[in-house]
Amino acid sequence: MQRFEIVGGNRLKGTIEIDGAKNSALPIMAATILLEGETVLKNVPDLADVRQMQALLARLGVKTHRDENGAMHIRVEDEMNTHAEYELVSKMRASVCVMGPLLAKRRKAQVSMPGGCAIGSRPIDMHVAGLQAFGADFELVNGDVLLRAKKLRGSEIFLGGPFGSSVTATANVMMAGVLAGGRTVIAAAACEPEIVDLADFLNACGARITGQGTPQITIDGVETLKGTEHRVVPDRIEAGTYMIAAAITNGDLELQGARLEHMQAFVDRLRRIGVIVERYEKGVTVSSARRLEAIEVTTQPYPGFPTDLQAQLTALLCLADGNSIVTEKIFPDRFLHIGELARMGAHVRKEGPTVIIEGVKRLVGAQVMASDLRASAALVLAGLVAKGTTCVHRAYHIDRGYQRIEEKLAGVGASIRRLQE
């Protein structure tokens, strides 16, 4: 097991290149189950979750490999297996994205209940109900979701849930709908840029999808889909994390490839805190004032403030003047980082789905434990500015969503290194 050792106090300055979006690459990789011929994906990040999806696809008869330029080549070689087993699925929630493609192309999908980060309950009822609307039969077999259908029929499907639209359910239903007979209309669809990227990819393969990026997506089914070449969109969550790195260290960073249009709610909050965010020809520049203002923020489905940046923003607000309030409306239990930030001197308290943060003058280095992907990033950010040395244990969490984070941060002036426990 590995850990990050960080000596805080360095002001970050320089350029960081933003990688492709993990939350876009994973469903697009799953969608290749639907295709005939070879697909070439560019800008796919080299992450633990991506490698996990490659292993799952290999078990399902889909061959993947990277060429010398880093592009991923994908081709279906065997369509016999329809079982995504517990051994692989339990390690990554995005594995559930193979459910829709398997059902649409192979008429059967047996998928173990998914795993992933410990950030609260994330049921897949909406996925199953959406796929049943196409005419699939469902049963639960030894902890696996089993769906069967001789033929999928287009349908009108509502995907609104208690905490908003489900991104992965929208992806699953959309991937099933492209090969279903007739027209499918998804109401209360997720609007995230990653859903738009998946739809654009499928359309390039021959699908007929309209309305992506809006709450209503319309799909006219087709008979077959062909492989294509596609470039994955930049990762807005990675970009947001490095924007906070600039702000928390009073730094000055250029983030190449970052797309401001994908982060408007987040950027609005940063500007209210006192962070200077500007667009330039290659991406976004970020710097900050020496005094940071307290704010209130509530996570919401896109285009609202993203839950995947809640922990990182909380770390920044620990150093703002006054009292800040952060309310989590997507995953109300996503606050495992709070206790670890308190170990570093933060004044934070949780009240239900809300955290109240009383800004302090400084944080201090400590031994802290990463509990999930985004909490890990928050602890690294806090370590960048804390007095003394911070050790973030369980580095494998952060490797699920950030490619070589220690190299990128060290390249712009951070004192950070990866060590073996």
Local confidence band at 121 (pLDDT 50, 70, 90 cut-offs): very low
User: What is the pTM (predicted TM-score) of this model?
Assistant: 0.95
- Of 111, 57, 55, nearest in space to 79 by CA: 57
pLDDT, tens digit, 9 for 90 and up, residues 381-408: 999 999 999 999 999 999 999 999 999 9
* Strand order across the beta sheet in which 354-358 lies: 296-298, 323-327, 354-358, 347-351
Task: Report the alpha-carbon distance of residue 398 to residue 317 in Å, rounded.
Answer: 21
Amino acid 40: pLDDT: 98
Note the pLDDT tens digit of each residue in 145-158.
999 999 999 999 99
CA 276, 281, 283 angle in degrees (round to 5)? 55
Split at pLDDT 50, 70, 90, the class of 118 is: very low
Annotated catalytic residue 117: yes
Q: What is the pLDDT of residues 358-388, one digit of tens each?
A: 999 999 999 999 989 999 999 999 999 999 9
CA 342 to mean position of chain CA atoms: 26
In 3D, which of 53, 83, 87 has the Cα closest to residue 145?
83
Task: Read off the DSSP letter of residue 113.
Answer: P
pLDDT for 332: 84
Q: CA-CA distances (angstroms) from residue 397 to 28, 328, 344, 372?
A: 22, 21, 20, 6
Interior angle at CA 307, CA 304 and CA 313, nearest 5: 95
CATH topology for 22-231 is: UDP-n-acetylglucosamine1-carboxyvinyl-transferase; Chain (3.65.10)
- What is the C-alpha to C-alpha distance for residues 407 and 236, in angstroms, rounded to an integer? 19
Give 215-228 pLDDT, tens digit per residue: 999 999 999 999 99
Confidence of residue 119 (pLDDT cuts 50, 70, 90): very low
Please answer whether residues 103 and 109 qualify as being in contact, where contact means their C-beta atoms are separated by less than 8 angstroms: yes
User: Distance (Å, rounded) from C-alpha 101 to C-alpha 240?
Assistant: 31
d(CA 373, CA 375): 6
User: Is the confidence at residue 58, as pLDDT, over 70?
Assistant: yes
- 72 vs 1: CA distance, rounded Å: 28
- Residue 120: the pLDDT is 44
The pLDDT of residue 289: 72
Label residue 269 by pLDDT band (50, 70, 90). Answer: very high
Helix, strand, or coil here: 421?
A: coil
299 has pLDDT over 70:
yes
Interacting residues of 80 by C-beta distance below 8 A, sequence separation 6+:
61
- The gap between the terminal CA atoms of the chain, to the nearest Å, is 6
Q: Which CATH number does the domain 2-19+234-420 belong to among 3.40.630.30, 3.65.10.10, 3.40.50.300, 3.60.150.10?
A: 3.65.10.10
| Predicted local distance difference test score (pLDDT) of residue 124 | 85
The mean pLDDT value of the chain amounts to 95
**pLDDT of res. 25:** 98
Are residues 6 and 384 in contact, defined by beta-carbon separation less than 8 angstroms?
A: yes
Give the residue, 253 or 1, on which the prediction is more confident.
253
C-alpha closest to that of 24 among 187, 222, 212:
212
Number of H helices, E strands in the chain: 14, 26
Extended beta strands in 333-404, E state: 347-351, 354-358, 367-369, 389-393
Contact (CB, 8 A) for 144 and 69: no
Sequence-separated (6 or more) residues with CB below 8 Å from residue 171: 27, 30, 97, 100, 190, 194, 195, 198
Which of the residues 117, 191, 205, 318 is marked catalytic? Answer: 117
Q: If residue 146 lies in a helix (H) or strand (E), which one and from where to where?
A: strand 144-148
Q: Is the pLDDT of residue 168 over 50?
A: yes
Q: Distance between CA atoms of 14 and 250, rounded to whole angstroms?
A: 13
Please determine, for residue 291, whether its predicted confidence score (pLDDT) is greater than 90: no
Question: For residues 103 and 107, what is the distance between their CA atoms, to the nearest angstrom?
Answer: 4
**For residues 110-119, average pLDDT:** 67
> Is pLDDT above 50 for 138?
yes
Reading across the β-sheet that carries 156-158, which strands appear in turn?
156-158, 183-187, 216-220, 208-210
Same fold, 2-19+234-420 and 22-231: yes
pLDDT tens track for 60-93: 999 999 999 999 999 999 999 999 999 888 888 8
Helix, strand, coil shares, percent, the chain, to 5: 35, 30, 35
Mean pLDDT score, 409-421: 96
The pLDDT assigned to 331 comes to 86
Residue 90, pLDDT score: 84
The total of other beta-carbon atoms located within 10 Å of residue 123's CB is 10
Domain ranges for the chain = 2-19+234-420, 22-231
* Residue 7 token pair: 């000596």
pLDDT tens readout for residues 306-348: 999 999 999 999 999 999 999 999 988 889 899 999 999 999 9
Kindly tell me if the per-residue pLDDT of 115 is higher than 80.
no
- Using alpha carbons, select from 162, 122, 166 the residue that is nearest to residue 23: 166
Query: Which one has a higher pLDDT value, 275 or 290?
Result: 275
State pLDDT tens for residues 24-44.
999 999 999 999 999 999 999
Q: Is the pLDDT of residue 233 over 70?
A: yes
HSE-up of residue 321 (Cα within 13 Å, Cβ side)? 8
Q: Are strands 13-17 and 252-256 parallel, antiparallel or unpaired?
A: parallel
